[in-house]
Amino acid sequence: MKRRIKLLVLFMVFSIVVGAHAQVHMNFKFETPYGDNKAVGKYAEINGAKIYYEEYGKGEPLLLIHGNGGSINSMGNQIDYFKTKYRVIIADSRGQGKSEMKTDSLTYVQITKDWEGLVNHLKLDSISIIGWSDGGIVGLEMGISGKAKIKKIVAMGANLRPDSTAVNGWAVKEVAKHKKEVVLKIKEKDTSQNWKTEKQMLGLLGDQPNIPTKDLSKIKAKVLIMAGDEDIIKNKHSLEIYENIPKAQLCIMPGETHFAPASNPVLFNEIAYKFLSETFKRPDSNWTKWK
């Protein structure tokens, strides 16, 4: 399926037009029916909503958190890779996939509380996280809240603010444009789509998150900030996030976009696994200290 990016990052298209002609091809076809696997799929009642989740593999718990408008299947490339190495736990975030919305104004704070609720439901002692886009934001929010014991966080394409200081201007404009279209559809009582749900998803993109940079200092986990060098998130903003987390590393992937976890999963997964599996080190290039 081909369509122009309209940054509701409804995200899960099979090829996305970036700019006038360039295309990003993504893989969402897997042998295992991720997101609809009756053999492992379960629901948990969390914060007043039924949240759907699946588990794969054994070992240390690793949460995979998808992006806006996505679902469990969105991170099938990561499930395939990491399920042989970890106990992979992945859910449809509130209002997406098979999970209930049960709110009129969805927030990252609410989604964060849901994931913390799932951690408690599964009685997980400690976790690591790979979050993509909105999932990266939630991963950072979980690190800031400190309500779950987190070893490491990989945050791909995350942002602290929804404005053009953090997000490329074309994306900010597209979200604003689409919000107006959705409001009009609701006024017209159009029933071709669930416009009220779409409005809430756009509210995440256009009005949130609003994370003070200083709050990043609260994160005790080791964090890898990742982005493509042609990401939706500005490179200087990814650098801002990295520089304000005490124990962090930064990876700007050359020749990649916001969609690297699905367009180049081999590269993304290997970088993420290297960070998760190796001892964390933030090197100091000040040679005067090497004496």
Q: For residue 279, what pLDDT is reported?
A: 96
Q: Under a CB-based contact definition with an 8 Å cutoff, are residues 63 and 57 in contact?
A: no
pLDDT class of 291 with cuts at 50, 70, 90 = low
Which has more pLDDT, 58 or 3? 58
pLDDT class of 288 with cuts at 50, 70, 90 = confident
Asked whether the predicted pLDDT for residue 19 surpasses 70, the reply is no
Q: For residue 285, what pLDDT is reported?
A: 85
Model pLDDT for residues 101-145, shown as the tens digit of each residue:
999 999 999 999 999 999 999 999 999 999 999 999 999 999 999
Q: Which of 18-27, 51-60, 167-176, 212-221 has the least mean pLDDT?
A: 18-27
Model pLDDT for residues 238-266, shown as the tens digit of each residue:
999 999 999 999 999 999 999 999 999 99
Q: What percent of the chain has pLDDT over 90?
A: 88
Can you tell me the mean pLDDT for 268-274? 98
Q: What percent of the chain has pLDDT over 70?
A: 92
Q: For residue 7, what pLDDT is reported?
A: 35
Distant-in-sequence contacts of 126-129, Cβ < 8 A, 24+ apart:
126/60, 126/61, 126/150, 126/151, 127/61, 127/62, 127/63, 127/151, 128/60, 128/61, 128/62, 128/63, 128/86, 128/152, 128/153, 128/154, 128/276, 129/62, 129/63, 129/64, 129/65, 129/153, 129/154
Q: For residue 3, what pLDDT is reported?
A: 33
Which has more pLDDT, 139 or 10? 139
pLDDT class of 23 with cuts at 50, 70, 90 = low
pLDDT class of 286 with cuts at 50, 70, 90 = confident
Q: For residue 17, what pLDDT is reported?
A: 32
